[in-house]
Amino acid sequence: MQTSGHPTGPLDGVKVLDLSRFIAGPLCAQILGDFGAEVVKVERPRGEDSRHHGPYWQGESIYMFLYHRNKQAASLDTRHPEALGILEDLVRWADVVVENYRPGTLEAMGLGYERMRELNDDVILVSISGFGQTGPDSRRALFDAISQASSGLMSMTGEPDGKPTLSGTYIADYTTGYQGAIGAMAALMHRDRTGEGQLVDVASYDTMFSALGTRLIAELMLGLEMPRSGSRDLLTAPVNVYEAADGPIYIQAGTASLFPKLCAVMERDDLAADERFATVEGRMAEQEHLESAIQDWAGSRTCADIAAALDEVGVPYAKVASVKEVAASPQIAARGMVVEAEHPKLGTIRMPANPIHMEKSPPTVRKAPPRVGEDNDHVYRDILGLSADDVERLRAEGAI
C-alpha cells in the first residue's frame, strides 16, 4: 500500500458522504477512500461516539486511527436549524452516501432514501445496519457482539464443553464494512452502465449468517448440528494446537496426504500404517489418541525445531503468535501491512494497511485520520460554496 499521494485511483472522482459511526460504516467509507474516492465525514461537533472510547494517544481515541484515514472531517450539529439544508447540499454533491443509523432514523430526520433521490436522482445510498432495512428485527439495536451471538457465530466458537465465546476482534463489524464497500463499488458499476442509483442494504446479521460456512450447509442440507470444536478442524484430523517446549504451535495434518508426512517426521510409521487412521472418518474418531502422540513429540521440541521439520515435508503449521509478535514479523514488513501517515498536530500515526495488493491501481494513504472538524473550511467553503462570513457565523453559533 502506497503512502504518498497518487493523482488517480480506481475510484478517483467518486464523491462519498460518510454519515456513519463506530466501525462498519466508517471502514466501508475508508476502503472507498483508500482507492481514491473523495470522502467527507460528517459528525457532531464533539465528535462521534467512538472518539470517546479509549485507549487514547495524545488525547485521540485509537478508533480514529483505524477507520478514518483519507477523509475530510466536517462537524455539524444536526439540531441546528440550518443543518438539514447543509446535509441536503452534501447529498447533492455526493455519488455515494454511507450511513449506519438504526433503520428509520434518517427518515425521521427528513433525509431518507426517497428524499435523497429527490435531491440527487442517481445517488447510491449504502445503508449498513444490524438486522437490515426489512424484517421483524429491523429496528433492533445491534453491536458486533450482538451480531456474533444472534447469527450463530458465537455458538460455534469455543471449547466443546465450555461457554459460547466471543471472537477476539470485531469480526462482524469488519466483515460488514467490507461487504458495504463491495456493494458500493458494484452499485457504481451499475450506475456507469445504466445511469441508475440504488439503495445498498447491508446487514451485520446477514453478513455473519452468510459466513457460517460448513456448519450452515450441514444444517440446511442435512439437518445436522455440529458442536463446537475448539481449535480442532470440523471435518479433518489431526488438527489442533500443541504445546511445544517454548509455546503453542498449530499443526494442520488432517488430509490423506499430510497425515503420513507428519508421521514420518515424528518417526511414527506405526501410526501411518494403522488402518484405523487410513481415512478421515477413522482419524476423526481417534482424535484424542492421535493428538496425544503428537503432543508427546512436540512437547520436547521448540517451535523453531518443529517448524524446520514440518517445512521440510510441507505440513502446514503456525506458531501461535501474539499481536506484538505478528506486528513485528518480517512477513508483515515485506507485505507493507503497517503504514504510516503524518498528521499536522499528532505527528506520525501507524496503522494497518489496506490488505488488497494491486499493481496498476493500489490503495493509497493520502491523508491521516482527521480530528473533529479539521476540514470544515474546505467542506463548507470549497465544496458547498458558503462564504467565509457564513462559515464563521455557523462556527460562532456552535453549528459546526
CA distance 38 to 235: 45
- Grid cell locating 61: 481515541
Catalytic option among 34, 95, 144, 173: 173
How many Å apart are CA 172 and CA 153, to the nearest integer? 9
Report the half-sphere exposure of 233 (CA within 13 A, side-chain side).
17
Residue with C-alpha cell 521448540? 302
SS (H, E, C) the chain: CECCCCCCCCCCCCEEEECCCCCHHHHHHHHHHHCCCEEEEEECCCCCHHHHCCCEECCEECHHHHHCCCEEEEECCCCCCCHHHHHHHHHHHCCEEEECCCCCHHHHHCCCHHHHHHHCCCCEEEEEECCCCCCCCCCCCCCHHHHHHHHCHHHHCCCCCCCCCCCCCCHHHHHHHHHHHHHHHHHHHHHHHHCCCCEEEEEHHHHHHHCCCHHHHHHHHHCCCCCCCCCCCCCCCCEEEEEECCEEEEEECCCCCHHHHHHHHHCCHHHHHCHHHCCHHHHHHCHHHHHHHHHHHHCCCCHHHHHHHHHHHCCCEEECCCHHHHHCCHHHHHCCCEEEEEECCCEEEEEECCCCCCCCCCCECCCCCCCCCCCHHHHHHHHCCCCHHHHHHHHHCCCC
- Which one-letter amino acid corresponds to residue 69? R
Residues with Cβ within 8 Å of residue 377, at least 6 apart in sequence: 391
Cα–Cα distance measured from residue 140 to residue 134, given in angstroms and rounded to the nearest whole number: 11
173 is catalytic: yes
Active-site residue list? 173
